Structure 1
Amino acid sequence: MDPKEKFYRHFRDSVDALQDQIDQLTQLSSIGGERQDATDNILAGISKLQNEVADAAEFTPAYDRRQYSDAIKGLQDKLNETLAKFAPKTRFQFRRTGTDHIDMGAPENDPRLNPGSLSRRPRSPTTAPGAARSMAEENRDIVGDLPSTGKNYNEELAKPDLASIRKPSFSAAQSIDISDHDGLHIILPSSASRATAAGCLRNLKNCVIDLSIPTAQGAPFPGLILKDIDRCLIVAGRVNGPIHINDVTNSILVVVARQVRIHNCKNVDIYLHCASHPIIEDCSGMRFAPLPEYYVRDDDPSTSLFWDQVDDFKWLKTSQSPNWTTLSEAQRLSDEVWTKIVPGQPGIGVEKVLAKVGIPPK
């Protein structure tokens, strides 16, 4: 089937399913969080659809992308109208922008590379005071965007602290957004499982970041973006949708995701559990290994899946791409590293952890 036709059918089915879910909201009870859980699932579904439209931009013309954007906007409007019927008003709403049509394939609007890009337009003068923010704004963990809290997690993490390991709760945040840090060891506790929107790790150097605990027993993240990262060890937790890895160098990643897209990366080891072929583009020095046993769950269908079936979009020959290879068992990190070193120990700083996992010194 032609890729454009295949995506059109998938998009149409996804929109129909989301419309049905929105229609069913009126039949759900607010008691016990039933309606709120359904709303969160719809928000995650719309966010996933936006990412898929951006992914399909390489083979869909601008006119088709315009139609897709109109359909997504229709979903947002319908969700707003449905939620407006409930009391008290929910803050999970999309804001209309001053633009009639948005090209999801345009770089400035690509949600993979510019999280929250669709919300960075001036608020309409006619917007009523106290109107709800867009989903993209909700996806950013910024002071003022969090309900009933004045925390700015990135500012808080950047403050000097005697503890070598930071454990921000993110319990009041709707998404994980960790950015602009150097030399930190961050472990998210289980309270961060309330952040159910797609997350982003961005502009990080010489860090150890572990997101696995919130998704170990709870719901996985609907999507995740890793961008502009150097000399880091990142355990990305579980991602139910796509994970986009861009401009990462000299690092080690642990990834469990449905779809993995990797762009402009160099010298990165990826321990991977993936439900589809991982895709690399403009990359070199990539090495892949199966998910470490320490992170395997009983309900995982397989620990290997497609970890070693990488598609290199910049290598069209039938021979093996020179841009990636697999890690032999002897080259992979030991169970002791994952169980004792990565979680952190008293007196062991970030540089010692990075050295023990084999990341070269600065």
Structure 2
Amino acid sequence: MEGEEGSESKQHHLSAGTLDPVSQKKHAAMLDRLATLHQSRLQQSAARSAAAAAASPAFESVSAFLDRFAESRRTIEADLQGCRAIAADPASAARLKPELEKMAASIADLDRLVAENSYFLPSYEVRSSLRAISALKESLEAANSELLPRKKFSFRNKAPKKDPTFLVKEVEEAKVSAPGKPDLAVVRETPGFRNKEGSILIKHFRVSEEGEGDFTLADLNSCEIYLRGRLRALFIHRLTNCRVFAGAVLGSILIEEVNDCLLMLASHQIRIHHARATDFYLRVRSRPIIEDSSGVRFAPYRLFYEGIKEELRDSGLEEETGNWANVDDFKWLRAVQSPNWSVIPEEERVQTMNVSDATEEPCEDKQ
């Protein structure tokens, strides 16, 4: 088009000298219109390019993400060192707690950064980033214990709580170091339901119990499980033909060896290993991770009981992020959709499950 316009302009320019004054004026006006049109096209092209650039994700290259991640990590580590300097100066002691809380927020932002960009990162980089974040959380927890003043007395001693994300990390590292021994001590020590068949199992976590503890479901066959209230971490191992309905989990859920099950779960982080022919109805802040799984399907969370909206809100899970449909398969590294998972068609999804009438019975097994 530009060549045609230039040729047309040249022809009109060559013949302009033979035109009368009126025609010459018309000729000049036509050239102005052509120039204006050409400039307008250039501006539109530049605007389209700028809009496309603005619509692109923040990180489309692994190196750009790693640079940002490393910079944020160095800043947090430097801030941790700065807190130790603040603790050494009694005059600045009042600043210590706000600074530690600020670092906790920075680590949470870094965790969210990984979750939001994991769709294009290689699985190794995702794992490496999560390990680095876990290390930062451990360092922050150690700094809190070491630097903040302790209470002078307590009516009872309590075992220190572990970050639920760290608990999941501990389980996964133990699996690597001891393959073939999935019944790990860190899981065995938690309360839970174990070794049941054909049972209805109900547990209501109350605030008076500091209900946000850790809970395990293991070696269950043909059971229905209802977990109401808030949990800190949930471990699910070796379930067959079971239906699990759980309220808000503040930290992570680790799932291993489930077959022909339905699980309705809400959590900040969900990892699934060795699942077969199982449907997951999820409310999750980060992208669910599957590994060594096949025939698993996903749909949005559909659980209701009195008080669940408040529990989800207090756990930071009130918002439906849509991440239930953004699944990362760590054993499928190709650019095309993994064949190991799919979205449950609308007509095949279960209706909202109202478990308000579920009554807790003394069937808990803590062995």
What TM-score results when the alignment is normalised by the length of structure 1? 0.53
Distance 2:294 2:357 in 1: 26
Match in the other structure for 2:39: none
Distance 1:77 1:198 in 2: 21
Aligned partner of residue 266 in structure 2, secondary structure: strand
Are positions 1:59 and 2:108 aligned together? no
Are positions 1:310 and 2:327 aligned together? yes
Alignment of 1:107-256 (within 5 A): 107=174, 116-117=185-186, 140=189, 176-189=191-204, 191=206, 194-211=210-227, 213-214=228-229, 220-256=230-266
Match in the other structure for 1:319: 336
| Preserved CA contact (<8 Å) 1:57 1:105 | no
What TM-score results when the alignment is normalised by the length of structure 2? 0.52
Task: Choose between structure 1 and 2 for higher RCO, CA contacts under 8 A separated by at least 6 residues.
Answer: 2
Bigger Rg, structure 1 or 2: 2
Structure 1 position 93, deviation (Å): 4.6
User: How much is the aligned-residue C-alpha RMSD, in angstroms?
Assistant: 4.9
Structure 1 position 109, deviation (Å): 8.9
Match in the other structure for 1:258: 268
Q: Kindly, what percent of the aligned residue pairs are identical? A: 23
Distance 2:78 2:219 in 1: 36
Distance 1:231 1:182 in 2: 10
| Preserved CA contact (<8 Å) 1:230 1:249 | yes
Question: Gapped runs of 5+ residues in structure 2?
Answer: 1-64, 87-93, 95-103, 115-123, 162-169, 360-367
Name the amino acid aligned to 1:305: G
Name the amino acid aligned to 1:316: L
Q: Which has the higher helix share?
A: 2
Structure 1 position 302, deviation (Å): 3.9
Distance 2:133 2:319 in 1: 36
Deviations 1:128-156 (A, max 9, x none): xxxxxxxx9xx935xxxxxxxxxxxxxxx
- Match among 262, 267, 270 for residue 277 of structure 2: 267
Name the amino acid aligned to 1:327: I
Instruction: Give the 3 Å change call, closer, same or farther, for CA 207–258 of structure 1 in structure 2.
Output: same
Aligned partner of residue 297 in structure 1, secondary structure: helix
| Preserved CA contact (<8 Å) 1:79 1:93 | no
Question: Gapped runs of 5+ residues in structure 1?
Answer: 21-26, 28-41, 95-102, 118-135, 142-175, 215-219, 345-362
| Preserved CA contact (<8 Å) 2:278 2:297 | yes
Deviations 1:242-276 (A, max 9, x none): 11111111100001111111111111100111111
Alignment of 1:264-343 (within 5 A): 264-292=274-302, 294=304, 297=309, 299=313, 301-303=318-320, 305-335=322-352, 338-339=353-354, 343=358
